[in-house]
Structure 1
């Protein structure tokens, strides 16, 4: 298995490791993986983790603790399930689906991770449906990363942060000095953690 702070997706050929999916070119550098490292640290005390997004670089390969459940939902990630993670029992599920197609019912207190916030509408369902806002409001820990220059993210961040009763524990401005991220216009980022950190 890849180390706890792997900078690339782990090999899908390893049966004990979840396949990562399509890694977008602007997220292929070790510097871009810093977001997953930070998110994994922020959720290290959480028994249940839900990530929306993460195709190509899901949080699963960056977790160093032993959660009870991990669910990753993204249309670009291969379906995958396992019953072990980091040498301990864990109900691990990667779902190749749009957020609006999946009913999410976390067990117990949970963390919600939204790295690279850039949700899209699906059919008649908006990009930030009421179910997502309820998940954000109910999360013990909410982690959001987004590109400051991505208009779609700018239109979604306000609704998500409005679900929280207190300001973020962590509010980082990041500039990832990577040519591919810079060319895509995604090098300037904001990283937020609400709840325990």
Structure 2
């Protein structure tokens, strides 16, 4: 499969399908306005990065929360609606939402980049593990690394150590969050940890 930074035809932007793609399709436990706080914080943390790569994000991609003018934004998630555009918020930007498993996509972000993993819960694909060497290399090389995960999610607990172990710097931000939302509480995802490595 071609990398997310390969050329592709421009798609229409503005209202309609493009706007829906930027907003995402919220999962039931992400439907409350409070759940979007994670994206707001992440967008602030990556505001100086010319390239933004998000793994996951089908429920609520970071794309619609970005306030700066990145050169490229790529979101990879098997459940995200595929979307391509050559502008974001009216400014030139190579925008890609790729409907694929992380292990199916060759990722080589150019220049200084941010890696965003909100709702950390990676799954293996075939014989390829959830936390692949390629993902660890991306985490190590990111100018800014943003990770959010639910403290009660066993899968995330098994993955966070390998990802943070790629960093030689201490986190610039290490927040404990409790989002008071009934759907999140019922899913066991209301108590969270939010980490930012690199310039914040």
Q: Same fold (TM over 0.5)?
A: yes
Q: Which residue of 1 aligns with 2:33?
A: 30
1:103-118 map, 5 Å: 103-118=106-121
Shift of the 16–24 alpha-carbon distance from structure 1 to 2, 3 Å rule, reads: closer
Number of aligned residue pairs: 187
- Trace 1:81-120 onto structure 2 (pairs within 5 A): 81-120=84-123
* Change in 2 beyond 3 A, CA 1:48/1:17: farther
Q: 1:70 aligns with which of 68, 73, 79?
A: 73
Q: Is 1:18 aligned to 2:15, yes or no?
A: no
Shift of 1:24: 1.0
Q: How many Å separate the matches in 1 of 2:30 and 2:83? A: 21
Which aligned pairs between 1:137-152 and structure 2 lie closer than 5 A? 137-152=140-155
Deviations 1:86-108 (CA, angstroms, capped at 9, x unpaired): 22100000000000000001010
Where 2:21 maps in the other structure, the secondary structure is coil
Provide the residue aligned with 1:167 in structure 2: 170
Shift of 1:49: 0.3
Range with bigger deviation, 79-88 or 18-27:
18-27
Query: Which blocks of at least 5 consecutive residues in structure 1 are unaligned?
Result: 1-10
Instruction: Trace 1:173-184 onto structure 2 (pairs within 5 A).
Output: 173-184=176-187
Gaps of 5+ in 2: 1-13
Q: TM-score, normalised by structure 2?
A: 0.90
CA-to-aligned-CA distance 1:119-163 (integer Å, 9 cap, x gap): 000000000000000000000000000000000000000000000
Is the helix fraction higher in 1 or 2? 2
Instruction: Give the distance between the partners of 1:125 and 1:77, measured in 2 at CA.
Output: 21
